Amino acid sequence: MASSGSFWMPEQGSTIAADVDTLFDFIYYLNVIFFVLITAATIYFVVKYKRKSDDQLASSNVGHNTALEAAWTFVPLVLVIICFVWGFRVFLDQSVAPANAIEVQVKAERWKWDFQYSNGSQTLNELFAPAGRPVKLVMSAKDVLHSFFVPEFRIKSDVVPNRYTSVWFEAKEPGDYQIYCTEYCGTGHSNMLATVKVLPADEFDKAMLKGEWPGQSGEGRDPVEWGKELYVSKTCNACHSVNGSRLVGPSFKGLFGRDAKFADGSTAKADENYIRESIMDPNAKIVEGYAPAMPSFAGQLSDGQTDALIAYIKSLK
């Protein structure tokens, strides 16, 4: 891991971060300097030119000062032009991905992030990327407006239905970096979290060739423990409680083994097959009293992850 950032800013995790911060500091300190100058001048003049008697106003002789007016017009103009040109350059550097960038397709959907790689594999709420190489994200939303934000990389972009937006980054070092959704998109918005998992470039290449990402098989792990982690990392928690309280969807507590009643009047026992179907094809059976709000997770969860989630749900009696 690189430095942990400053008082103001998170770690500079991408190659663009230092440029963004330098520009931010320039604009910030420019504002601080002018704030201090203007406040000091105001206080000084208020005291110095306080009206001391009623007839003082009539005798005052306030004139015109061309040099002064030219200065307070010209100096700010130059400063604003500097901010514009500098800002536009950094904006272009941020917007235009290098030609050798690898591409990852990003799909945002209430309330999860799905990443699709050029080898055909998919990961959910985990974006795998190589260190020291540019990655271009081509993003769109399936339902409503979302926004993709990685503070350590200083990249942020709206993710919009029916069109593509794109950002790129080059991570400096392997590590985990937080992804936030920064556009209010419904009750699960604050849970719409994901992680950029930056791997050393050779490990990334190996995983791309195998089509298998680290941590997806859960080998040797207790399935209930793993399922409990996945419940959060795959954002099941955006819609399903584990304490019996009602959220967007039914609670997981006591779900396994009970008789579920569906909107069409039919019933079924909630067994492994029912839960699996509900994850992969959520609209097949809608529980009575709930809206058909769940997106499909087909192709986004491995078999092992699905098993672990079922094991965890089973454990919530």
The footprint of ligand CUA (CB under 6 A) covers 108, 111, 146, 181, 183-185, 189, 192
Rounded to a whole number of angstroms, the minimum distance from the CB of residue 107 to ligand CUA is 12
* Nearest to ligand CUA of 170, 183 (CB atom): 183
* Nearest to ligand CUA of 192, 208 (CB atom): 192
* Nearest to ligand CUA of 136, 189 (CB atom): 189
Rounded to a whole number of angstroms, the minimum distance from the CB of residue 142 to ligand CUA is 11
Rounded to a whole number of angstroms, the minimum distance from the CB of residue 283 to ligand CUA is 21
Type of residue numbered 107? K
* Nearest to ligand CUA of 134, 188 (CB atom): 188
Rounded to a whole number of angstroms, the minimum distance from the CB of residue 276 to ligand CUA is 26
* Nearest to ligand CUA of 16, 192 (CB atom): 192
Residue partners of 287: CB distance under 8 A and separation at least 6? 249, 250, 260, 261, 262, 263
For residue 186, what are the CA distances in angstroms to 66, 145, 234? 56, 10, 17
* Nearest to ligand CUA of 188, 227 (CB atom): 188
Rounded to a whole number of angstroms, the minimum distance from the CB of residue 39 to ligand CUA is 39
Rounded to a whole number of angstroms, the minimum distance from the CB of residue 167 to ligand CUA is 16
* Nearest to ligand CUA of 181, 255 (CB atom): 181
Please, which residues bridge with residue 187 across strands? none
* Nearest to ligand CUA of 248, 260 (CB atom): 248
Rounded to a whole number of angstroms, the minimum distance from the CB of residue 188 to ligand CUA is 8
Rounded to a whole number of angstroms, the minimum distance from the CB of residue 295 to ligand CUA is 12
